[in-house]
């Protein structure tokens, strides 16, 4: 054996395993939403009128504004991930806090809209309502999960220590975050499509 | 080892990796070999449960107007038979082999995410118990394994039966998704140095293709289950026409998952065949790369053929023509594989031992199942025999022939690796022939019954149809088959102590799991093997180099629970990964999720909320400590 096979321990050349794992989770969740959105259009095109008679068209303005706010949160998430990889815990924590702030605005605003709509009609009237609320609910749940992970990481970072394990966690979290934002656009376009 | 350095390295590894025996370790271990063994044992127990359901049904159908079970119980039996065999036996059994063998075959020390590996086992066990607890309350799923609406809607099945189905499968999906993620990252990131993409063992390709299909197919099933549960419990509308829903939506979602699921079952089994054939043909696999490609191609094409399960639902002819053609395309990659195996066997010098017997049995039965499969792609024929026993005969030839024969081959092939003992070859041969004859006796007459028009899923039949004799033969066959399986069980139990000592490599095999002792030590390999061909264990000089490397303390990784990370294409070393050791969190998380699903089933929303909070807390607890801390 002539070639030396010692391993450069400090060096990390590939993406961390956790990032790849998150990619798989994101892929499978994307298909989940894809299935739901496909069901939406499947039922829509088998129904003569969509939304059905007597059901008002979906509101457009507020959902669009809220989604813009959410999509903007990808920026601080990217900053957090980048600073964590470069070993700057303070900057990473601020990135996460900014992400949290924007996401909270979205989650709160969307929840208000959804709850209002629910009081108005509920999901039990028709397939149209059922799909509307299922899509919205599923997406808000995904944002909520992101918020929880984010809070946990902020708590960990607030102690001022940043290990490679945590930096990888933030990296994977930011991937999830970008994905949730892409989903938001998909869900938004689907739910407001009858009004366009 | 001969040198002091080598001996010291071994002691260090032993200290780092050895786990104490005892209850605590039992509940917290993340060792992929222990988890793999548990998967195998647990899913075999489910196999026996599903088999008992099958035998009860065959006894009921042995004669016309049988009186063993009534229609209600019969509905539960065939539904749970299907659910058990597909979700709780074949897939987890293959995952058990995957769990045990994949890290060994790619020269790693564990899976990419050892704790998630434990998690996927505990959830599998919990969801299986959840599903079977339905029998205790007398409300087992009873609308078939594909659970069609409108029958499965609340109006037509008001009991908890279908809620068990929906929630049980959603629960199991967590396990399968976690497992598939783990396999993909392991296979693509933790391979031994030098194991480039074209040197990945074909069994690992099978597991990779399965995992890929799971990632992209399961969500469709989950969406369907979520929709149906929302409809049943909260009055949403997805499947009922009166409120803008559509019953066919269930069928589409189910089969978008369901057809890829056939390959989820079949592709790792094919990987087993491709593992065993070259070993017993005593030569390298012919067209290795083509077989790997065919495996992946089958997985891809499998996503485009689901409508062939719906040829009798009245969709447009254009739709049918497309899916008919797509279904015939599948023949091409399957053909590549069949001819690859046959060519390898013909060009080699086959040694007939029990694993190869099961493989040959697989080839015969699978070709018969494949031929009837092509017949189904012809729509007029499909519409003629839909919902008859011809379908039952076909998919048992494909699934039992295509997956259970390879699983039994794998049991005989890998038993020495798991236990360090050989199975009794004489008993194995007898068991095989009983198994083979029993299988054909059970399922071949069903072709005839189907053509004669006997419908599936009906608990009895009139004596005047002339179906009695074929049904009787089928029932006799079922008990013969059971005897063959029993023979294997006896062999497995007895050889645990009485079997001849196997040694590290009793078959003279070509893959890396045979490059270490039987059973392997906790750390799998003293020094991570370096690979230079597609048959690494036949490269004698390379394996000697492994020993030399150990003596120089190279690639021994004694800094913790470490393994090598390589790049996914060329297998060049990227970094050292440190994994966690034992952890209680996987079990606690699985328990929290069980709480959630049970409370949800009971309709107790406060308790369900607490279950969700506990789940989140368990995820947080999991993250508190870092590996190596």
Q: What residues contact B107, with CB distance under 8 A and at least 6 apart?
A: B191, B192, B195, B512, B524, B525, B528, B529, B531, B536
| Dist. CA A151–CA A163, nearest whole Å | 17
Closest Cα in chain B, distance from residue A194 (Å) = 16
pLDDT-derived band at B628 (thresholds 50, 70, 90) equals low
pLDDT 10s digits, B120-133: 999 999 999 999 99
| Calpha distance B258→B266 (Å, rounded) | 13
In percent, the amount of chain B with pLDDT more than 90 equals: 89
Q: Determine which of B223, B555, B624 to mutate to test the interface with A (most A C-beta atoms within 10 Å).
A: B223
CB atoms within 10 A of CB B360: 19
Is the Cβ pair A14, B189 closer than 8 Å? Answer: yes
Residue B440 has pLDDT above 70, yes or no: yes
pLDDT score at A13: 65
Cβ of B181 within 8 Å of Cβ of A9? The answer is: no
Contacts of B436 (CB under 8 A, 6+ apart): B361, B484
pLDDT at B368 over 50: yes
Alpha-carbon gap: A64 to the closest alpha carbon of chain B (Å): 25
User: How near does any CA of chain B get to the CA of A61, in Å?
Assistant: 27
Q: Where are the alpha helices (DSSP H) in chain A?
A: 17-44, 61-72, 74-85, 89-120, 127-157, 164-192
Helices B585-602 and B605-624 meet at what angle, rounded to 10?
A: 170
Could you say which of B246, B545, B554 has the minimum Cβ distance to residue A46?
A: B246
Task: Answer whether A124 sits within 8 Å of B545, measured CB to CB.
Answer: no
**Contact A48/B at CB under 8 A:** no
pLDDT of residue B1: 46
Is A8 at the interface with chain B, CB within 8 A? yes
**Residue B629's pLDDT band (cuts 50, 70, 90):** low
CA separation (Å) from B247 to A43, B76, B150? 10, 22, 6
Query: Using CA atoms in the order B366, B368, B374, B380, what is the torsion angle rounded to 10 degrees?
Result: -140
pLDDT attached to residue A3: 43
pLDDT beneath 50, residues of chain A:
1-11
Q: What ipTM score was computed for the predicted complex, to two decimals?
A: 0.95
* Greater model confidence, B308 or B442: B442
Chain A: give the shortest CA distance to residue B238, in Å.
5
Q: How far apart are CA B292 and CA B195, in angstroms?
A: 15
The answer to whether the CB atoms of B244 and A31 lie below 8 A apart is no
Measured between beta carbons, the chain A residues lying within 8 angstroms of B567 are 13-14
pLDDT over 60 (residue B182): yes
Chain A residues touching residue B253 (CB < 8 angstroms): 35, 39
Chain B nearest C-alpha distance from A182 (Å) = 18
- Residue B2 is predicted with a pLDDT of 63
Q: How far is C-alpha B534 from the chain's CA centre? A: 25
> Which DSSP state fits B421?
B
pLDDT digits (tens, 9 = 90+) for B290-322: 999 999 999 999 999 898 889 888 888 888 888
With CB atoms and an 8 Å threshold, state whether B181 touches A166: no
Largest CA distance in chain B: 82
More confident call, B315 vs B182: B182
Check residue A30 and give its pLDDT. 97
pLDDT at B626: 81
| Residues of chain A neighbouring B553 (CB-CB closer than 8 A) | none
For B1, other C-beta atoms within 10 Å of its C-beta total 13
What Å distances lie between residue B474 and B137, B336, B343, B442, B468, CA to CA?
A: 32, 33, 34, 4, 10
Q: What is the pLDDT of residue A159?
A: 82
Using alpha carbons, select from B611, B589, B591 the residue that is nearest to residue B601. B611
- Mean pLDDT (chain B) is 95
Cβ-based contacts under 8 A for chains A and B: 140
Q: Quote the pTM value.
A: 0.96
| Chain B: closest CA distance from residue A16 (Å) | 9
Q: Which residue has the higher pLDDT, B430 or B379?
A: B430
Task: With beta carbons under 8 A apart, name residues in chain A contacting B552.
Answer: 1
Contacts of A127 in chain B (CB under 8 A): 237-238, 243-245
Residue A108 near chain B (CB below 8 Å): no
Of the listed ranges B16-20, B473-477, B594-598, the least confidently predicted one is B16-20
B465: left (phi over 0), alpha (psi -120 to 50) or beta: alpha
Within 8 A of B224 by CB-CB distance, chain A residues are 35
H/E stretch holding B565: strand B562-566
Residue B271 has pLDDT above 90, yes or no: yes
Instruction: Give the residue-averaged pLDDT of B12-24.
Output: 92
CB-side neighbour CA atoms (13 Å) of B247: 13
Query: How high is the pLDDT of residue B328?
Result: 85
Query: Which positions in chain B touch A21 (Cβ < 8 Å)?
Result: 112-113, 116, 181-182, 185
Please tell me the distance from the alpha carbon of residue B513 to that of residue A163, in angstroms, as a whole number. Answer: 34
Contacts of A134 in chain B (CB under 8 A): 226-227, 230, 236
Helices (H) and strands (E) in chain B, counts: 21, 2
Predicted local distance difference test score (pLDDT) of residue A7: 45
pLDDT for B324: 86
Q: How far is B173 from chain A (nearest CA, A)?
A: 11
| 8 A C-beta contact, residue B167 and residue B149 | no
Residue A35: which of B180, B253, B552 has the nearest Cβ?
Answer: B253
């Amino acid at each position: 054996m002539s070639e030396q096979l010692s391993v450069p321990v400090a060096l990390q050349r590939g993406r961390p395993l956790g990032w790849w794992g998150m990619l798989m989770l994101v892929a499978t969740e994307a298909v989940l939403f894809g299935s739901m959105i496909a069901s939406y259009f499947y039922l829509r095109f088998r129904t003569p009128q969509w939304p059905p008679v007597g059901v008002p068209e979906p509101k457009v303005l507020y959902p669009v504004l809220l989604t813009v706010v959410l999509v903007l949160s990808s920026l601080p998430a990217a900053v957090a991930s980048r600073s964590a990889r470069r070993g700057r815990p303070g900057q990473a924590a601020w990135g996460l806090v900014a992400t949290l702030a924007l996401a909270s605005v979205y989650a709160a605003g969307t929840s208000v809209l959804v709850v209002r709509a629910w009081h108005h009609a509920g999901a039990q009237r028709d397939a149209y309502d059922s799909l509307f609320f299922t899509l919205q609910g599923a997406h808000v749940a995904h944002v909520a999960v992101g918020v929880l992970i984010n809070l946990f990481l902020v708590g960990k970072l607030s102690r001022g220590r940043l290990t490679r394990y945590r930096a990888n966690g933030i990296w994977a979290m930011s991937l999830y975050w970008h994905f949730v934002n892409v989903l938001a656009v998909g869900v938004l376009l689907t739910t407001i499509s009858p009004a366009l | 080892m001969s040198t002091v350095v080598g001996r010291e390295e071994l002691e260090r590894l032993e200290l780092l990796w050895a786990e104490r025996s005892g209850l605590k370790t039992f509940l917290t271990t993340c060792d992929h070999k222990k988890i793999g063994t548990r998967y195998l044992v647990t899913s075999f127990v489910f196999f026996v449960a599903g088999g008992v359901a099958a035998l009860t049904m065959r006894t009921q159908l042995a004669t016309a107007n049988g009186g063993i079970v009534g229609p209600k119980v019969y509905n539960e039996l065939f539904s749970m038979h299907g659910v058990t065999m597909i979700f709780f036996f074949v897939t987890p059994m293959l995952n058990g082999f995957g769990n045990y063998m994949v890290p060994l075959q790619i020269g790693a020390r564990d899976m990419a995410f050892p704790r998630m590996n434990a998690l996927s086992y505990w959830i599998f066990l919990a969801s299986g118990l959840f599903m079977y607890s339905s029998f205790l309350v007398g409300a087992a799923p009873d609308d078939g394994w594909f659970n069609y609406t409108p029958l499965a809607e609340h109006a037509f099945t008001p009991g908890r039966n279908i809620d068990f189905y929906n929630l049980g499968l959603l629960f199991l999906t967590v396990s399968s998704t976690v497992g598939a993620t783990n396999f993909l990252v392991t296979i693509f990131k933790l391979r031994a140095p030098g194991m480039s993409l074209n040197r990945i063992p074909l069994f690992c390709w099978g597991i990779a293709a399965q995992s890929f299909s799971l990632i992209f197919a399961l969500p469709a099933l989950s969406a369907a289950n979520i929709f149906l549960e929302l409809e049943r419990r909260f009055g949403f509308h997805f499947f009922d026409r009166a409120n803008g829903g559509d019953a066919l939506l269930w069928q589409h979602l189910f089969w978008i998952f369901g057809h890829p699921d056939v390959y989820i079952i079949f592709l790792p089994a094919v990987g087993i065949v491709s593992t065993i054939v070259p070993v017993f043909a005593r030569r390298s696999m012919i067209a290795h790369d083509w077989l790997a490609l065919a495996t992946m191609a089958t997985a891809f094409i499998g996503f485009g053929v689901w409508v062939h399960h719906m040829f009798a639902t009245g969709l447009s002819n254009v739709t049918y023509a497309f899916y008919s053609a797509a279904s015939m395309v599948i023949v091409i990659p399957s053909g590549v594989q069949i001819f690859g195996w046959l060519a390898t066997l013909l060009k080699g010098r086959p040694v007939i031992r029990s694993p190869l017997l099961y493989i040959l049995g697989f080839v015969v039965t699978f070709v018969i199942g494949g031929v009837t499969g092509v017949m189904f792609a012809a729509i007029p024929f499909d519409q003629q025999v839909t919902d008859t026993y011809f379908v039952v005969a076909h998919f048992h030839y494909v699934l039992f022939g295509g997956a259970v024969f390879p699983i039994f081959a794998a049991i005989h092939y890998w038993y020495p690796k798991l236990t360090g003992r050989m199975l009794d070859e004489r008993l194995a041969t007898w068991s095989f022939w009983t198994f083979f004859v029993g299988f054909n006796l059970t399922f071949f007459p069903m072709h005839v019954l189907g053509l004669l028009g006997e419908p599936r899923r009906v608990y009895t039949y009139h004596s005047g149809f002339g179906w009695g004799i074929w049904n009787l033969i089928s029932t006799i066959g079922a008990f013969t088959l059971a005897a063959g399986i029993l023979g294997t069980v006896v062999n497995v139990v007895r050889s645990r102590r009485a079997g001849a000592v196997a040694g590290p490599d009793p078959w003279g095999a070509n893959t890396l799991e045979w490059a270490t002792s039987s059973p392997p030590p906790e750390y799998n390999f003293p020094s991570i093997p370096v690979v230079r061909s597609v048959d690494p264990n036949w490269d004698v000089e390379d394996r000697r180099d492994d020993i030399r490397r150990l003596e120089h303390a190279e690639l021994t990784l004694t800094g913790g629970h470490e393994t090598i990370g390589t790049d996914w294409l060329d297998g060049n070393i990227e970094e050292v990964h440190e994994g966690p050791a034992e952890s209680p969190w996987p079990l606690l998380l699985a328990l929290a999720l069980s709480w959630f699903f049970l409370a949800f089933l009971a309709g107790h929303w406060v308790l369900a909320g607490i279950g969700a909070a506990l789940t989140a807390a368990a995820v947080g607890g999991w993250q508190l400590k870092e590996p190596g801390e």
